[in-house]
C-alpha cells in the first residue's frame, strides 16, 4: 500500500495539469498577454496526454508546435514546478533584426530569417524602404515575407563580419533585388534574393576590402552574380 501510495504521489507530482507562462531572462520592451501561449501549450498537451507527465514531455516537439501556432515564439522550455500538478513554462520570443510595413501591417524578421508580426522587444533599426512601385494587388505580402527572411540572414551574417546594415531598399520596378547600405559607408550593395545570403555577404566583404585597400568608394557594388562583383 505504501509503495502504491508513493508511486501515485510520484505520478501526481510529475503531472502537468495547470500551466503558467513566464519569459526568458531577456528584458522585454512591452508586456504581453499570456493567454494565447497558455492555450497553445494546453492544446499540445491535450493532443499528447501522455506528455502531461514531465518525464515524458518532449520539449523539442512542444516548441515546434507552439512556434508553428505563434511564430513570434522562438522556444518553449519547462522552467520549474512550483506545486503539485503545476508547471511553469519559459517562453523565448524572437528578437527582430529588421522590419517592413506592408499594407499598414508591421512585420519583423529574426536572424534566422523567420517572419513574425508580434514583437515584444525594441523595434529594429533596419527597415526596408520600398521603392519598387509594386501595388498590393500584385502580392506584396507574399513577396515581402520572403524578402524579410532574406534580409534577416543578410543582417545577421554581415554583423558576423563586422558590418552593420543601416537601411535596406527594394529598388524600383523589381521584386527580386535588395539593396543595402552599411554603417559608415556610402556604397550601396546590390543583392539578389534568389541567391544565397551567405555567399553574397562573403562576396560583399571581399569587394569592400579590395576597394578600401585602393582608396575607392563607388556608388554601388553588385554581387548578384556568383564569383563576380561589379561596381560603379
Q: What is the pLDDT of residue 148?
A: 79
At 116 the pLDDT is 87
**pLDDT tier at 142, thresholds 50, 70, 90:** very low
205 CB-near residues (< 8 Å, 6+ apart): 158, 161, 163
pLDDT for residue 139: 37
More confident residue, 158 or 132: 158
Its pTM surpasses 0.85: no
What number of other Cβ atoms are within 10 A of residue 128's Cβ? 23
pLDDT tens readout for residues 51-95: 887 777 888 999 999 999 999 999 998 887 766 667 888 899 998
pLDDT-based confidence at 157, cuts 50/70/90?
very high
Q: Average the pLDDT over each of 79-88, 174-183, 186-195 and give the range with the smallest value.
A: 79-88
More confident of the two residues 231 and 103 = 231
CB–CB of 224/191 below 8 Å?
yes
Per the structure block, which three cell numbers stand in for 6? 508513493
Return mean pLDDT, the chain. Answer: 82
Q: Is 80 exceeded by the pLDDT of residue 172?
A: no
pLDDT for the residue 70:
93
pLDDT digits (tens, 9 = 90+) for 221-230: 999 888 778 8
User: What share of the chain in percent tops pLDDT 90?
Assistant: 24
The Cβ of residue 76 has, within 10 Å, a number of other Cβ atoms equal to 24
Task: Show the beta-strand stretches assigned E in the chain.
Answer: 18-23, 73-80, 86-93, 98-102, 105-109, 115-116, 128-130, 165-170, 177-182, 188-192, 220-222, 230-231
Amino acid at each position: 500500500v505504501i509503495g502504491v501510495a508513493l508511486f501515485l504521489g510520484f505520478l501526481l507530482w510529475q503531472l502537468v495539469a495547470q500551466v503558467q507562462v513566464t519569459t526568458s531572462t531577456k528584458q522585454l520592451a512591452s508586456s504581453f498577454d499570456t493567454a494565447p501561449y497558455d492555450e497553445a501549450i494546453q492544446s499540445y498537451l491535450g493532443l499528447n496526454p501522455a506528455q502531461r507527465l514531465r518525464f515524458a514531455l518532449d520539449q523539442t516537439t512542444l516548441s515546434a508546435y507552439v512556434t508553428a501556432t505563434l511564430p513570434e515564439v522562438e522556444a518553449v522550455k519547462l522552467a520549474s514546478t512550483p506545486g503539485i500538478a503545476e508547471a511553469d513554462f519559459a517562453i523565448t520570443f524572437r528578437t527582430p533584426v529588421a522590419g517592413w510595413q506592408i499594407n499598414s501591417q508591421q512585420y519583423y524578421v529574426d536572424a534566422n530569417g523567420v517572419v513574425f508580426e508580434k514583437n515584444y522587444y525594441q523595434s529594429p533599426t533596419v527597415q526596408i524602404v520600398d521603392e519598387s512601385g509594386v501595388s498590393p494587388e500584385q502580392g506584396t505580402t507574399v513577396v515581402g515575407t520572403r524578402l524579410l527572411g532574406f534580409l534577416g540572414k543578410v543582417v545577421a551574417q554581415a554583423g558576423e563580419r563586422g558590418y552593420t546594415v543601416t537601411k535596406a531598399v527594394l529598388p524600383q520596378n523589381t521584386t527580386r533585388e535588395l539593396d543595402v547600405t552599411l554603417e559608415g559607408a556610402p556604397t550601396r550593395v546590390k543583392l539578389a534574393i534568389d541567391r544565397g545570403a551567405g555567399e553574397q555577404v562573403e562576396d560583399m566583404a571581399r569587394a569592400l576590402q579590395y576597394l578600401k585597400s585602393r582608396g575607392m568608394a563607388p556608388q554601388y557594388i553588385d554581387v548578384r552574380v556568383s564569383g563576380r562583383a561589379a561596381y560603379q
